[in-house]
Amino acid sequence: MLLDATGTELTFIYKNQILRKLKADSAEATYMIASMVNPPQGQDYRPLPGDLFPKTYPFDYGSIFTYNYFWLKYYISQRTYFALAKRPNYVNYEVMVNALNC
């Protein structure tokens, strides 16, 4: 995941690039941060499943070492989400959490 210099767009680079290129799909996708708001939640809606992406930094680092390898970052609806690895090779958690929760 790359944050542009203006801080308004995130570019996600897919890990399975070879398979995506064979299918003629792009190896990356760019999204406006403003469009990545959480879907409606509350008593009238079904709860979002999975380990949800942290809303604030710092977060409970113990949640990284669970059996679920991914955080789910829902946006727009309950059917669209990103699966973000909890323990990537390199990540600035502070920037990632703040960028995805603007």
pLDDT tens-digit series, residues 12-62:
877 777 777 787 878 888 888 888 778 887 788 888 888 888 888 888 888
Rounded to whole angstroms, the Cα distance separating 42 from 2 reads 31
Domain that holds residue 89: 2-100
Domain count of the chain? 1
- In 1-102, at which residue ranges do the beta strands (DSSP E only) sit? 2-3, 9-13, 28-32, 70-75, 77-85
**pTM summary value:** 0.68
What is the structure's pLDDT at 4? 82
In the structure encoding, which two tokens stand for residue 101, read together?
């929760």
pLDDT, tens digit (0-9, with 9 covering 90-100), for 73-96: 888 878 888 888 888 777 778 888
